Amino acid sequence: MKRDLENEEDIKLLVDTFYDAVNQDELLSPVFNGHANVAWEHHLPLMYTFWSTVLLGSMAYKGQPFPKHIDLPIDRHHFARWIELFTQTADNLFEGAKVTEAKQKASSIALVFQMRMGLIDSSIKQPVM
């Protein structure tokens, strides 16, 4: 039986496993490793603090994630794939209320980013991913 997301080690496992999948994905990897040229040694610790803040209330994250994404060559397909990989990763590793919350937060973040980037009309009620 899987357990729920509970602590910083769980966040690290989720983030590392998810970004391993992203790095192997033919749609997402070129964005992260080509266009954005992500410095993973800096990005991953930032993602640990981001998700720790979102899910565990650590308040460790002090950044603004949206501006870093605005100029990326991405569309709704990229967001859908990001959510698909995040959900698969979370479900493969954990189960419970906190992992459900993590998937809901990821979907909400993706929806807000898409609206702010003009990829979806914010006046139309969108289905939850």
Lowest mean pLDDT among 27-36, 59-68, 75-84, 96-105: 59-68
Closest Cα partner for 21 from 84, 101, 105, 72? 84
Cβ contacts of 73-80, under 8 Å, gap ≥ 24: 73/31, 73/35, 74/31, 74/117, 75/119, 76/114, 76/119, 76/120, 77/27, 78/27, 78/28, 78/31, 79/110, 79/113, 79/114, 79/119, 80/129
Task: Enumerate domains of the chain plus CATH numbers.
Answer: 8-116 (1.10.490.10)
Q: What is the pTM of this model?
A: 0.90
- The model's pLDDT over 80-116, given as tens digits with 9 standing for 90+, comes to 999 999 999 999 999 999 999 999 999 999 999 999 9
